[in-house]
Structure 1
Amino acid sequence: MPRTNLNDILIFMAVVDAGSFIAGGQAMGLSRSAAGKAVTRLEERLGARLLNRTTRTLSLTDEGRVFYEHGLQILASVDEAEASIAGQGGTPRGVLRLTVPDAFGRLVVLPLLEKYLRTWPDVQVEVTFTDRPADIVEDGFDLAITIGAAPSAAETRLIARVIANDKTRLCASPSYLGDRGMPREIGDLAAHDCLFFTSRGQRQGWRFRGDGGGWIKAQGRSRLRLDRSDAVRDAALAGLGIALLPDFLIAADLTAGRLRQVLPDLETDDTKIVALYSDKGLLEPRLRCFIDLMIEAVGRQG
């Protein structure tokens, strides 16, 4: 098979992004007819239909969807090649793929993306919201945000960068505390229902700084365990127990009185907000600029 004309691929990508031959052609400085002929040439060369055409709409075929994904990879490789020459001054473009914890993503990342997309109009963003760990290389993500301890490079084969340290606080609803009483010391937690976060069967441990400077583990009862931090918050609001949660998730609830802080004088572990990304040498501009934005906005909490 003769090598495909790269310009035809770019025209095909522009047509798909714009949703029509007219707008896609205009984006490439071409007429509707020229854009249509370029896509037809590409289909003939590949021996497959890439677009379903009607008088009103265009849609990708299964083959077209696969080819479009490969086209995104080609553009990303071009961006990376340009960045390797242009250094840190490269213009962000292409697709940024993120995986973020559900609650943190909705409360913190989405507001940042509004500024990010407005600042860099040539970037598209795909976000997966999940509290489960992801294999960012295998799953094709550029960046994973995790909440908790930063893993070592040996554990992940990734670069782990701490973006911020967020305070964690014990809290419970006024209704729960009214029924069960306010704990006065760590030992009192043993008589309370504690809402633990769990991931793949591994329960989150609670520990607090003791009088001698060492860490003391809490011995609270665990009748309800949940695998999403926002579900732990919802359970606390519903009066189902005491929770240990980061400030970004409960600050508004504490201010509004929906939750009350428990044992406020105890020193708890900070929650680390960590950016994980592949060690590929020079960062693509779209990834570097997003990390810089997170450090500027979220790192102020640290």
Structure 2
Amino acid sequence: MELTSINDIVAFVAVVETGNFTLAAKKLGLTRSAVGKRILNLEHRLAARLFHRTTRSLRLTDDGQVLYARSSQILVDLEETESAMAHRSGEPRGRLTVSVPVTLGRRHVLPVLERLLDKWPELSATVSFSDRFVDLIEDGFDIAVRTGKPRDDTRLMARSVARQRVLACASPGYVTRKGAPQRPEELDGHDCLFFLSEGRPRPWSFNVDGHSQQFTGSARLLMDDGEALQAAALSGFGIAYLPTYLTSEDLRAGRLVPLLESYAFDGEPIRVVYPSKRYLSPKVRSFIDLLVDSWGDEPPWEGRD
């Protein structure tokens, strides 16, 4: 019997894990017809039907379920073997796939990644800039940089690489017109600009007597882009609640005025998360180490002039 191609196995697992041929093709960088051909080749070699197909659904047959259980483990074993061999050489190589928040990624992660690529010529990278929550396993990322409250996921490991401060701020012109709130509850009388996350306004958090007090008042303006909120605050449109990696230069230059600083938290972690594996590949380890070296003691956006 002719041996099954590993490429056909990879295509089969991708179809199962994405739920359809189109997404599997996108994940693998192939055409939909190429993925379909690989599945047909696999079914022909195994003399078994792997999927129940209709125009609206795709589900595994009993044979398909058995093959998926074995195939997914084979791919994990292969990946761990490659990681173990790469770990022996110690040099980052191959392609690193990274998911980063839009603004933090563009302003502060990308320069670190460029330094990593300059140092290791055998390493390349694919970077996705998105403020949405991505599933590293399903979407095929090696690592993600995340801010905010962590989500429980036993499939992932996490490491803190820096801390970020988040401050309420407004332009001097706005403060002159509307005044500066002295307590979080006074924000109800102000024009507040909220970040829209997964279809909902992201609450503002204040440290009141050692406890977190959430503010979710009426939003004058909702946007899903941090730099757009920054621009609106700079124009005097209202009060925004923004991380200092975005606003530090404006605060130092006086273009924005910090508000309610005595109620601000010291900082929240910026984490990297990556799939839990026995071996951490050199490319992932090197990226994490460089982020820690670059950001650990005092992130560049918190540096003093």
TM-score normalised over the length of structure 1: 0.69
Structure 2 CA distance, aligned partners of 1:126 and 1:244?
Answer: 30
Secondary structure at 1:231 match in 2: helix
State the Cα distance separating 1:191 from its structure 2 match.
0.4
Structure with higher Rg: it is 1
The answer to whether 1:224 aligns with 2:234 is no
1:180–1:192 contact (8 Å) kept in structure 2: yes
State the Cα distance separating 1:301 from its structure 2 match.
3.0
Structure 1 CA distance, aligned partners of 2:158 and 2:268?
Answer: 15
State the Cα distance separating 1:203 from its structure 2 match.
2.2
1:254 to 233, 251, 255: 251
The answer to whether 1:284 aligns with 2:263 is no
Structure 2 CA distance, aligned partners of 1:236 and 1:294?
Answer: 30
Structure 2 CA distance, aligned partners of 1:185 and 1:61?
Answer: 56
State the Cα distance separating 1:238 from its structure 2 match.
2.2
Secondary structure at 1:268 match in 2: coil
Structure 1 CA distance, aligned partners of 2:212 and 2:92?
Answer: 44
> Unpaired runs of 5+ in structure 1?
5-59, 67-75
Match of 1:264 in 2: 261
1:190–1:219 contact (8 Å) kept in structure 2: no
Structure 2 CA distance, aligned partners of 1:128 and 1:287?
Answer: 16
Secondary structure at 1:184 match in 2: coil
Match of 1:176 in 2: 174
Structure 1 residues 219 and 282, CA, compared in 2 at 3 Å: closer, same or farther?
Answer: closer
Structure 1 residues 217 and 158, CA, compared in 2 at 3 Å: closer, same or farther?
Answer: same
TM-score normalised over the length of structure 2: 0.69
Match of 1:92 in 2: 92
Structure 1 residues 82 and 91, CA, compared in 2 at 3 Å: closer, same or farther?
Answer: farther
Secondary structure at 2:297 match in 1: helix
Q: Deviations over 1:105-125 (max 9, x none)?
A: 111111102210111110111
Match of 1:35 in 2: none
- More deviation in 227-236 or 104-113? 227-236
- More deviation in 226-235 or 240-249? 226-235
Match of 1:20 in 2: none
Structure 1 residues 79 and 91, CA, compared in 2 at 3 Å: closer, same or farther?
Answer: farther
Secondary structure at 2:274 match in 1: strand
Structure 1 residues 185 and 62, CA, compared in 2 at 3 Å: closer, same or farther?
Answer: closer
Match of 1:109 in 2: 109
State the Cα distance separating 1:181 from its structure 2 match.
1.4
Structure 2 CA distance, aligned partners of 1:107 and 1:136?
Answer: 22
2:292 to 286, 295, 301: 295
Identical pairs, percent: 40
Structure 2 CA distance, aligned partners of 1:153 and 1:79?
Answer: 21
Secondary structure at 1:146 match in 2: strand
2:236 to 235, 239, 262: 239
Map of 1:1-302 to 2, 5 A cutoff? 81-85=81-85, 87=87, 90-154=90-154, 157-210=155-208, 212-218=209-215, 220-268=217-265, 270-301=267-298
1:98–1:126 contact (8 Å) kept in structure 2: yes
2:80–2:278 contact (8 Å) kept in structure 1: no
State the Cα distance separating 1:85 from its structure 2 match.
4.3
Letter matched to residue 184 of structure 2 = I
2:86–2:282 contact (8 Å) kept in structure 1: no
Aligned-residue Cα RMSD (Å) equals 3.1
1:83–1:90 contact (8 Å) kept in structure 2: no
How many equivalent pairs are there? 238
State the Cα distance separating 1:269 from its structure 2 match.
6.3
Structure 1 CA distance, aligned partners of 2:165 and 2:236?
Answer: 22
1:191–1:220 contact (8 Å) kept in structure 2: no
